[in-house]
Amino acid sequence: MKFGAKNGRSNLIYVGNNGVERQLCKKAEDYRWGFLKYHKSQNPFSEPLVVRNASPRMVEALKCVQSYHSDARHLNYRILQRLFTKLNVKEKEQLVDYIIFVYNVIDYEGAAEYFDGFDKMIDAMHFNTGSEYDLNEITVGRSDAHYNSMSRILIDKLGLKDIHDVFMLPEEIRFNELFPLLRRYTAAQPEQILKFLRLPFFKK
Domain membership of residue 40 (yes or no) is no
Largest CA distance in the chain: 55
Residue-wise pLDDT tens for the chain (204 aa)?
Answer: 445 566 778 888 888 888 888 788 889 999 988 889 999 999 999 999 999 999 999 999 999 999 999 999 999 989 999 999 989 999 999 999 999 999 998 899 999 998 889 998 998 888 775 544 444 444 445 556 777 888 888 888 888 777 777 877 888 999 999 999 999 888 888 888 888 888 886 544
Residues 86 and 186 placed together within one structural domain of the fold: no
pLDDT in tens, 52-91: 999 999 999 999 999 999 999 999 989 999 999 989 999 9
Cβ neighbours of 76 (radius 10 Å): 9
Short-list 111, 95, 16, 15, CA closest to 59: 95
Residues 19 and 62 placed together within one structural domain of the fold: no
pLDDT at 6: 60
How far the first Cα of the chain sits from its last, in Å, is 43
Last residue within a domain, chosen from 126, 158, 186:
126
Using CA atoms, how far apart are residues 180 and 190, in angstroms rounded to an integer? 10
Using CA atoms, how far apart are residues 108 and 38, in angstroms rounded to an integer? 9
Short-list 37, 28, 10, 34, CA closest to 123: 28
Residues 98 and 110 placed together within one structural domain of the fold: no
Last residue within a domain, chosen from 71, 94, 126:
126
Helix (H, G, I), strand (E, B) or coil at 204: coil
What's the number of domains the chain is made of? 3
Residues 115 and 31 placed together within one structural domain of the fold: yes
Let me know the angle formed at the C-alpha of 143 by 138 and 111, rounded to the nearest 5 degrees. 70
Domain membership of residue 131 (yes or no) is no
- Single pTM value for the model: 0.62
Domain span at 112:
5-35+106-126
Residues 27 and 121 placed together within one structural domain of the fold: yes
